[in-house]
Amino acid sequence: MAYDELAQPREATRKRLPYLDNVKFFLIVCVVLGHAIKMGPTKYFDSARSMSVLIYSFHMPLFIFLSGLLLNRPRMTAQKIQTNVLLYLGYGYLAKLLRASVPLLVEGKWQFSLLSEGGLPWYMFALAAFYALAWILRKCDFMLVGILSVVLALACGYVGQVGEFLCLSRIVVFFPFFWLGHALSPQRVTEVFSRRFVRVASACMLILSAAACFALPGILYPYRSLFLGRWGYALCDVPNCMWVNRLFAYLASFVTCASVLGVVPQRRLPVASVCGSRTLWVYLLHHEVLDLLRYTGLPAWLVAYEWHWLVLVPLALVLAVVLALPIPVNPFARLRKDA
């Protein structure tokens, strides 16, 4: 998501990689679909729960990986990092206001917390933290920081205070994905996943992952709470949850993320490559559209039976394309120009 709007230096934006835009479009469709599945009776069906756990195993980890991948370490400056941090904080609070707007208009309820966030805006605040950490840790050994970040993420689940306050839990849990991307180069990743053997192996692994999710919904669905990274172990649905469960979740996310990178086409695609370059506003606005649909009762009518949730797939595609249309007014346009 940061790939198009913020992460790349201005001179690099002329050399976009359609492959990464295609990946981002697929991911944002999955984000919309995952949230659409949650809003109706669909979430109680095993098939929808299986799809949900599969989506949550890779969509945000891979988005965060791409954000780190496109943050060019040699070209980082204090001014660019500061601007990006301010941008993401601004988008985060804009997202919080948008999330509070629909309940206020429909139910007259105002729900807004200045320093805690458990919903959609967390991603903006986490990216602000990741950019700041990338600058602070720029002279440190990549391997050492990566290992310590994983150990910290495994340990923080035991600390009840690390949760939604300042999005601390998600920042700690997802930082290893950002740091892994930051350690690699876009060209190298593109080259590796262009190899025929890697692409065939990725397709096989993705099929196996999907088969496991659909065959074992009762066992694997509780891991969705770990994929969210939102809570400590005590609040996760996994029985007797501990560090080994989070380690398993990390390994599952790594496999599915790599599999998605291997199956997405690398050539330019007319719709995906264009819309994939404009995912920020899709992320910020799609939940409000889904909320309005939920208040009408339409999704419940559409997905009242097993597998009827499949109609949400074209809905997610349409929303991702429509909301990716150019926004005429951007409150942060000046900052983006200076970034």
How would you write the pLDDT of the chain (339 residues) with one tens digit per residue? 554 444 443 344 447 789 999 999 999 999 999 998 887 666 678 999 999 999 999 999 999 999 999 998 888 889 999 999 999 999 999 999 988 887 777 777 788 788 888 888 999 999 999 999 999 999 999 999 999 999 999 999 999 778 788 899 999 999 999 999 999 999 999 999 999 999 999 999 999 999 999 999 989 999 999 999 999 999 998 989 999 999 999 999 999 999 999 999 999 998 999 999 999 999 999 998 998 888 887 767 777 788 888 888 999 999 999 999 886 655 655 555 444
222: domain range?
2-338
Tokens 């458990």 sit at which residue? Answer: 118
- Residue written as tokens 């400590």? 232
Give me 185's structure tokens: 């180069």
Those residues whose C-beta lies under 8 Å from the C-beta of residue 127, and which sit 6 or more positions away, are 1, 2, 64, 67, 88
Q: Which residues contact 39 (CB under 8 A, 6 or more apart)?
A: 290, 291, 293, 294, 299
Helices (H), ranges, the chain:
2, 18-38, 46-56, 59-69, 78-107, 122-136, 142-156, 168-182, 186-192, 196-215, 217-220, 224-228, 243-263, 272-275, 279-296, 298-302, 312-322, 333-338
Backbone angles phi, psi at 310, to 5 degrees: -60, -20
* Full-model pTM: 0.90
Contact yes or no for 232/156 (Cβ under 8 A): yes
Query: How high is the pLDDT of residue 332?
Result: 58
Q: What is the pLDDT of residue 335?
A: 53
Q: Which amino acid type is present at position 305?
A: Y
Joined tokens for residue 161: 């205070």
Report the alpha-carbon distance of residue 145 to residue 158 in Å, rounded.
Answer: 21
> Closest Cα partner for 220 from 64, 59, 61, 51?
51
Q: Is 51 helix (H, G, I), strand (E, B) or coil?
A: helix
Tell me which amino acid residue 217 is: P
Residues contacting 325, CB < 8 A, separation 6+: 278
- Is 4 in a helix, a strand, or coil? helix
Residue 202 one-letter amino acid: S
User: Torsion angle, CA of 173/174/175/181, rounded to 10 degrees?
Assistant: 150
Residues across the chain: 339
- Measured between alpha carbons, how far is 208 from 110 in angstroms, rounded to an integer? 44
pLDDT score recorded for residue 53: 95
Q: Are 257 and 61 in contact (CB under 8 A)?
A: yes
- pLDDT in the model for residue 5: 44
Number of domains in the chain: 1
How far apart, in whole angstroms, are the C-alpha atoms of residue 42 and residue 260? 25
The pLDDT of residue 27 = 97
**Residue 130: how many CA atoms within 13 Å on its side-chain side?**
34
3-state secondary structure of 116: strand
